Structure 1
Amino acid sequence: MFTKLTPINKENHANLKVKAIESFEFASKFHIASVMVHEFVRAASVYPIVFLEDKAQDEFRPVTLLSLDAGENLFVDVNGKWQASYVPAIIRRYPFALAKNPEQDSFTVCVDEDSAYVGTEEGQPLFDENGEPTAVIENVKRYLGELQQMEAFTKAFCHFLSENNLFTPLNMRVRAADQIKNVTGCYVINEERLNNLSDKKFLEIKEKRYLAPIYSHLTSLSQIERLALLKQGVSAIESPAAATEGNLQ
C-alpha cells in the first residue's frame, strides 16, 4: 500500500496538501486487509475474518479475505468504487500511518509521499502559513491514535486465543468460477475447543469482552461462500454501493 512512507514535519511538508479519497483503485490488488477486534461485528456482515500466523513475531493477526486469489480485490470495481457497506480501517487511513520510533516508546505520524492523494496543488494543507499543523493533522493524529489503542487490544485478544490453544488451521473446499479451491494457509477459532473451556475460563472471556468478536468471527466464515459467488460474477450483496465511511480529512 505504501511506497514512500515518510514522517510528517513542517520543514519538508510545509506546502503539502491531501485530497479526499475518491477511488480505492490503490487497494484493487489487496486480497486481504488487516482488521481489529473493534471492526469484527461490522466486517463480519460482509467479509470472512480469519487469522494469519506471523512466525517471526510468534503471534497471530486477524484479516478479512477480500478474494480467494492473491492480487485480486473483489470489492473494488473498475471505477475504483468500494462495493460493500464497510471498508476496513487500515484502508481508510491511507495515505497516513504510524511508525514506531526505534529508540522511544512512541509513534510518529507518516504520509506516503508517492500517493496520488498528496501533492502541493490540490487538497487541504497539512500546515498553515505560520507552519503550524492544521485540523487535518490533528484529525489524523486522533484517528491513528485510536487505531493504535485498538491494535493493542487486538494483540491481547489474539494472544489469549493462542495461549488457550483455540486456533486451528482452516481447510475448506469451495467452488469458485467452475473450479474447486482449497482455502488454506490461515487459522480460525476451534468452536469445539471453545465450548469445552471451563466455566471459569469462559467467564474470563466474557469479562475481557471477547465474546462478541469470537462469535462474529465464527459467523463470518460463511462469507467465504460469498467470495466464491463473487468470483463467478454473481453478486451476493443485495445493493452494492460505494462505502459511506468518511475519510480522514
Structure 2
Amino acid sequence: MARYTPISSETHQTAGWNLISDYSFAKGDALAPVSLAEISQLLPRYTLAFYRASEQDPLQLVAVQGLYPGQNLFITNQGKWLGGYVPAVYRGFPFRMIPLQESDKLVLCIDEESDNYKSALEENSQPLFDAEGKLSELAGKVKDFLMSQYQQRTKTEALASLLDEYGVIQPWHLKVDGLPETIEPHSGLYHVNEKKLKELSAEQVQVLNLRGALGLAYAQMLSEHRMQELVSLFNLHAHSAKNKAEVSDLDLEKVFGDDEDSLLRF
C-alpha cells in the first residue's frame, strides 16, 4: 500500500531514492491516467478511454492496459515495460504531486512504502536535498515534470467535461471475445459516440476545435482498434505462462507491428 508523505528537509535531509528499473509497482494498474500532451506517443500502442471512478469524480482520459481490473499486460514478470512508451504517470515514481487539503496548493510527496525510497542514502541512491537543505537538482526536475503532468491532466479533464457537456460521451461496455466468462470486464469506462459527434452544430464543432476537445475526441475513437492488440497481448502472456517463457522474449511485433493493412484499419 502506497504511503505518500510530503517531503521536507527536516524529515528527509538524509533520504533519497533509486531511479526506476522495475515497473512491478504498476502491475495491478489496468488503467493509467494520461493527458492530451501524450497522445502522439500513446496512439501507436494503447486503447484510450474515459473513466469516472464515481458520479462525483470528473472524467479522466486513461490508457487501457489490461482487459479487466487489476491486470497490466504491459509489464513482464521481470518488471520490464512492453511496447515502448511508458505513460508519464509512472515516470515520476515514487513521487507524486498531491493537493493540500482544502487548498489548491500542490506539494511534492514520496511513497515511503516504495522499494525505491531510501530513508538513508545508499551507494546508487539519488539525494532528495543538498547540503543546504534545498531540493537536489534532480529532485527539482522531477517536481517540475510532475507539476507539468498534473496541469496537463487537469486540462485534459476539462476537455473531457466539455465533450460530456455536449452529449457525445457515452458508457463503454466492453465485450472482449475470448475472455473467460468468470472474468468481470471493466466498468466505469466511457467513449465518444461518433454519431452524436456528427450531429453537433457547426458552432459546437468550432468550439470543440478551438478548445482542443475535437482532437481529443477523434484520438479516442481512432485508438479503439488497439483493443484487439490488447487481446493478442493477453494471449501472449497466457502462452508464455504455459511454456514458462518470459513475455519479452517472444515476438512482440506480432502484437504491435504496424504493417500497411493495420495502418489503414480504422
Runs of 4+ off more than 4 Å: 177-184
Structure 2 matches for 1:191-206, cutoff 5 A? 191-206=194-209
Matched, 1:238 2:237: no
Q: Letter of the aligned partner of 1:114 in structure 2?
A: E
Among 220, 223, 234, the alignment partner of 1:220 is: 223
Q: Which runs of 5+ in 1 are unaligned?
A: 240-249
RMSD after superposition? 2.1
- 1:57-112 CA-to-partner distances (Å, cap 9, x unmatched) read 25211211111022221111121110012111111121001111124321110001
Query: Aligned to 2:175, what secondary structure does the other structure show?
Result: strand
Q: Kindly indicate whether the alpha-carbon contact (under 8 Å) linking 2:160 and 2:213 is maintained by their aligned counterparts in 1.
A: no
**Residues 21-74 of structure 1, C-alpha deviations (whole Å, 9 max, x = no match):** 011111112111111122223212211111122434252112111110222211
Worse-matched range after superposition: 174-183 or 133-142: 174-183
Q: Secondary structure of the equivalent of 1:232?
A: helix
Cα distance change on mapping 1:211 and 1:205 into 2, 3 Å: same
- Please state whether the residue corresponding to 2:80 is helix, strand or coil: coil
The residue matched to 1:176 in structure 2 has which SS? coil
Alignment partner, residue 246 of structure 1: none
Moved more, 88-97 or 52-61: 52-61
Q: How many residues align?
A: 238
What CA distance in whole angstroms lies between the structure 2 residues aligned with 1:227 and 1:36?
20
Give yes or no for contact 2:49–2:62 (8 Å, CA) kept in 1. Answer: yes
Superposed CA offset, 1:92-135 (max 9, x none): 12100111112432111000111111212131111112222210
Identity %: 27
SS at match of 1:153: helix
Alignment match, 1:48: 47
Which structure 2 residues correspond to residues 20-31 of structure 1 after superposition, within 5 A? 20-31=19-30
The answer as to 2:94 corresponding to 1:95 is yes
Higher helix proportion: 2
Distance in 1, Cα, partners of 2:169 & 2:83 = 28
Matches within 5 A, 1:1-249: 3-119=2-118, 120=120, 121=122, 122-176=124-178, 185=187, 186-233=189-236, 235=252, 236-238=255-257
Q: Report if the CA contact (8 A) 2:68-2:183 is conserved.
A: no
Q: Which runs of 5+ in 2 are unaligned?
A: 240-251, 259-266
Structure ranking higher in strand proportion: 1
Distance 1:99-1:205 versus aligned 2 partners, 3 A rule: same
Taking structure 1 as the reference length, the TM-score comes to 0.88
Once residues 82 and 230 of structure 1 are traced to their aligned partners in structure 2, the CA distance between those partners, rounded to angstroms, is: 13
Letter in 1 for 2:175: R
One-letter code aligned to 1:11: E
Q: Displacement of 1:176 after TM fit?
A: 3.1
